[in-house]
Amino acid sequence: MNIQRKYSLPNCTLLLEGLSDASKTTQFQEMRPELSILVNAECTLSGYTQSIAGGREFFESLVRAVSAYAQEFLSNISNPQAHNSESELVQLEKVNPNRHKLSVRSDIPQGDLNNGGAKQKIEINLNSVQLFDLVEAVDQFFADTQTLPELTLELQPVARGHSAVSGALLEQAVPAGVGFAGLAAAAIAFNLMPAPEIEPAEAQKKVDETTQSVNPEVQPTTSSNNQVQPTPTANNTANSSVATPTQSPSSPSTVRDLEKLIGSAPAIKNSSRLRKLNSQVYSQLNQAWQNRQGLESDIVYRIGAAGDGAIIGYKAENQTANAAIEKTPLPKVLYNPASSSAIANEPIAQFKVVFRRTGVLEVSPWLGYVNKSDNLGTNITEQSALSNLNQKLSASLNQNASGDTTYKESLKYRVAVKQNGTIADYEPLNKEAFQNFRQTPIPKLFQGDNTNNTETQEPLAQFQVEFQPGGKVEVTPWQGYR
Amino acid sequence: MNVSAPLTPFNSPAEQDLPMILDTLPDPAIEGQGCPRRTRQQIDLILLAIEALDLGGSEAILAFAQELDLKGIIKDRVNLWRMRSTNPLRRANIRRPLTIMEAKALVVISCYLARRLTVVIRQLLMINQQMVEKQIPLEQNLRLSNYLERFRAHFRSRMNKRRSGLMALNSDDKLNELAVNLLAQLLFCTGTAGMQRFWISLFDGEVE
């Protein structure tokens, strides 16, 4: 069935044309069928007769760039996703506070095919009101659950010093192909493992277009190996028939099974990164989890998150979890790798995600914060020195502690102390400790930079410090007295 | 520690009673309980722009707090003033943290107020656009110049000129520019996902 969706604003009209998935629309009484296959997207802006148009890749790139640039506009902090000329077809740049340049690159060579190189580029200057209308059209699309429901609004603050992050992404772009090869090998190995239960309805999604096949639940483990080859071919034909500007050459669309990803990718073990990712995963899921009723029991998943917090795979940990996948936001928040560079060999962190029947979300590292004491450097282990420092630390913490505390549970930290008794490094060990850090005397006593503690050459004494509600402090050596 | 006293409004027992509307805004991954400097500054300036647009702006903030069931967070005028005074640019800058929950409440109210003013905001921005294109001084349009004048007056009466951030904001032109930029940001707050977008943008560059 041919469907059109139009999002109209005074300065911008977004027109989406596509098809509904015939196998899914069994209910004919459905008033507004789901547009699940995008054939053409067209965006017309006031003052420009030429509209910008393209297929799925263009549209995904458009909504990403627009969304990121809207954030940049609000915060005045450069958002790397808005102007990624390497991989994105659509970019937005600030000319001045009231002028914004939208540029659209087409991958279809113009004119002579033999010429090959000449790529068309359209540039449109928008004022702030036009920009807003474009953002609003995109947001209305996001809010429309009957049109490409797998594309949802995902907002994340730009990280402090994101330049380092984007640098890391560039480094990873090169060995991605290598990782993909390794992954194929891993896929064969994992073929021997039993396939997870698949919901029957999910199988139908296979007839969906390109990126639909990216959903992990669509791919049973056993069949994924066979599908590695056919899928790209299918993409090609689909693309040419619907005139999508490009195919995604590196689309690792069949590698979403978490087990396989874990098999091939290095694990993120560093506890501070895990903690950061933990909160990113939590906020993504928490935000996306709309309908919190209807769970019959607590359901548990193991999920894999990439270094930037994107959820790149999940696995049901019990039978109920498998059946209830559609009640969770997991399919919605799953990162879509076809839309960006390959994620094949990015390091992965695993988390345990529990959706409580009561509507509460819990996220914790799958293996706990195992490596917290990995990089502690040389330690002071001599008994008398240790007990001496223990007393010193305990005394200075007690001296500076305030009785005026608001936390209700005890806060646990790992604290490293130099030979002279000053704090060299610390690490919160539980959530309360992280949240109520400012109420402890540690920030007062700790002078320095906590980020590169591994570089300190000095031997340190490691302690566990526990602040109990009311301000009582307990200090014990990290590895006990021997 | 000295920061603990003003924190009392928000402790775990009250957590369950918090209005649902705040759940639409996710907690940012920042350390500590208070909002970063830029967050506090931006929220206060957005509210300042609303006040410059709408003569009853400050009354409306309290009225919306009531309507949106946020009275538990924004209790009264003094309470509101203390929250806004966490803006480091303020003359009467108060050294107390602005909690995430308070920030959320202020953001929700700003966006509701902005939505109510959508038509005015759009018109003023269009006027500004035309004036700039035709190189006509902004003062020649009565509505726009009213807004700009009120914004400058509010800004000068409440902000501390000596704060380093303000050194660049000493001329009418600079303040007009700020006022127009805030107006455009207000427009973005009126959108379908405007509240979420504004909220997340407040933490750009602040998370790790």
Higher-pLDDT residue of A308, A82: A82
Chain B residues touching residue A142 (CB < 8 angstroms) = 192-193
Chain A residues touching residue B128 (CB < 8 angstroms) = 98
Both structure tokens of A431? 């959530």
Mean pLDDT of chain A: 72
**Would B72 be classed as within a structural domain?**
yes
Q: How far is CA A145 from CA A142, A153, A205, A320, B16, in A?
A: 7, 11, 17, 25, 30
**Would B28 be classed as within a structural domain?**
no
**Would B19 be classed as within a structural domain?**
no
**pTM (global) more than 0.80:** no
Residue A26: what pLDDT?
Answer: 54
Nearest by CB to B188, which of A74, A157, A283? A74
**Interface A:B, Cβ pairs < 8 A:** 132
Closest chain A CA to residue B202: A75
**Would B137 be classed as within a structural domain?**
yes
Least confident of B88-102, B118-132, B141-155: B88-102
**Would B16 be classed as within a structural domain?**
no
ipTM over 0.90: no
**Residue A425 pLDDT > 70:** yes
A37 φ, ψ (degrees, to nearest 5): -120, 115
Asked if residues B83 and B74 have their Cβ atoms less than 8 Å apart, the reply is yes
**CA distance, residue A168 to nearest chain B CA (Å):** 15
In this complex, do B193 and A153 lie within 8 Å of one another by their Cβ atoms? yes
- Determine contact: B14 vs chain A, CB below 8 A: no
**Count of the separate structural domains present in chain B:** 1
Residue A406: what pLDDT?
Answer: 77
Q: What is the pLDDT of residues B10-40, one digit of tens each?
A: 444 444 466 778 888 888 887 777 899 889 9
Q: For Cα atoms A337, A339, A343, give the angle at the middle one, nearest 5 degrees.
A: 30
User: Which of A362-376, A411-425, A435-449 holds the top average pLDDT?
Assistant: A411-425
Residues with Cβ within 8 Å of B197's Cβ and at least 6 positions away in sequence, in order, are: A70, A71, A74, A135, A139, A155, B188, B189, B191
CA A423, CA A414: separation in Å to the nearest integer?
11
Q: What is the pLDDT of residues A394-423, one digit of tens each?
A: 888 888 777 677 777 888 888 888 888 888
**CA distance, residue A143 to nearest chain B CA (Å):** 8
CA A104, CA A52: separation in Å to the nearest integer?
8
Exposed, middle or buried, A96 (CB in 10 Å: 0-12/13-18/19+)? exposed
Site from A63, A72, A129, A363 to mutate, B interface, most B CB atoms within 10 angstroms: A129
Closest chain A CA to residue B182: A74
- Determine contact: B66 vs chain A, CB below 8 A: no
Nearest by CB to A129, which of B28, B122, B198? B122
| Residues of the domain holding B89 | 35-199
Q: What is the DSSP letter of A4?
A: E
CA B58, CA B61: separation in Å to the nearest integer?
5
**Would B165 be classed as within a structural domain?**
yes
Q: For Cα atoms A241, A242, A243, give the angle at the middle one, nearest 5 degrees.
A: 95
CA A153, CA A357: separation in Å to the nearest integer?
25
Nearest by CB to A157, which of B125, B126, B203? B203
**Would B103 be classed as within a structural domain?**
yes
**Would B8 be classed as within a structural domain?**
no
Higher-pLDDT residue of B160, B99: B99
Maximum C-alpha span of chain B: 58
Q: Which chain B residues in 122-181 lie under 8 Å from chain A, judged by CB atoms?
A: 122, 125-126, 128-129, 132, 177, 180-181
Amino acid, single-letter form, for residue B8 = T
- Tally DSSP H helices, then E strands, for chain B: 8, 0
CA B147, CA A69: separation in Å to the nearest integer?
27
With left for phi above 0 and alpha for psi between -120 and 50, is residue B60 left, alpha or beta?
alpha
Least confident of A256-270, A297-311, A331-345, B81-95: A331-345
Q: What is the pLDDT of residues A149-158, one digit of tens each?
A: 888 888 888 8
In this complex, do A160 and B192 lie within 8 Å of one another by their Cβ atoms? no
All structural domains of chain A, each given as residue ranges with its CATH number in brackets, are 2-158 (2.30.31.10), 171-371 (no CATH), 375-477 (no CATH)
